[in-house]
Amino acid sequence: MAHASFELSSSDWEALVRLGEGVTMDASLDEAWEGVQILDDSEVWTACSLEEEHRLSHLPVAQRPRRLTVQHALGKTYLVGEFPVVRWDVDRGWEKCLSAQYILGESPSGFNRNGRAWPEASVLAEGTWWRFSTTEEGVHCLDYDDLSAAGLNPAQLDPDALRIFGHGGQALPFNNDVERALDVPQVAVVRRGLEDGSFDPGDGLCWFAPSLTQWDWDEDEGWNHTPQPWADTARWFLRVDAPATMDMAVIPSNPAYAG
């Protein structure tokens, strides 16, 4: 077995967030392991302050997995890993990791494993939800007429209790080691006319829907076109009774210019 641990000061944490990195580990082993797995862990997380949340506003809410690999060089075996220092919880919002301890063991498989902190239950497990679809990339808005057509009474809705979730119709990576959301992520929105606490004609909840087709740049081959192999429609989920403890993901707006 092997042990790994870290403890972060405020300045260390801020530096890692600024660089968009996690805590890295590089340690030599006395034995030649084929692979590595986490046998036990103990992590201490705490809620981020408002100032810290502002620094994290540019980050996606997709969970960043713990990465551990075994590497061999010059006749020696090394453990190389990276551990996330921030995470998004749909109920508690952004949290930061203060310290962590891990017990590591050899994996019988020659493949290295990523550890992921899977949620105990999906965000869809509770609450009142409505499902809807989009087929085109761009800005979409749920307005008064849309909600009425879905059988809802907009006048009885609390705008502060509305949350939109969805993957945007994106296909999950074929490679299991590639990062992905571990649950349906919340979508950042723009509130239009909802500041008065009521959903009136002309009001709306707007968000950006990405294209189902992906374009990736390769220096040798140029642009690669990858269509969504499984669907031509993106599914979205609207929760109409979200508690106040579930922070709303909002797209920040620029203040009005006064020249």
Query: Residues 243-249: what's their mean pLDDT?
Result: 87
Which residues, other chains included, contact 223 with Cβ-Cβ below 8 Å and sequence gap of 6+? 215, 216, 217
Alpha-carbon gap, residue 116 to 87, rounded angstroms: 11
Residue 47's alpha-carbon distances to 52, 53, 179, 256, in angstroms, are 9, 9, 23, 31
Confidence of residue 128 (pLDDT cuts 50, 70, 90): very high
- pTM for the full predicted model: 0.57
The first and second tokens of residue 239, run together, are 């929760």
Query: Residues 139-167: what's their mean pLDDT?
Result: 93
pLDDT single digits (tens) 32-67:
777 777 788 888 888 888 888 877 776 665 566 777
Query: Residues 74-92: what's their mean pLDDT?
Result: 79
- Runs of H (alpha helix) within the chain: 10-19, 50-55, 144-149
The domain segmentation of the chain, as residue ranges, is: 2-115, 123-239
- Residue-level pLDDT at 257: 52
Which residues, other chains included, contact 211 with Cβ-Cβ below 8 Å and sequence gap of 6+? 137
pLDDT at 239 over 90: yes
Q: What are phi and psi of 30, to 5 degrees?
A: -80, -20
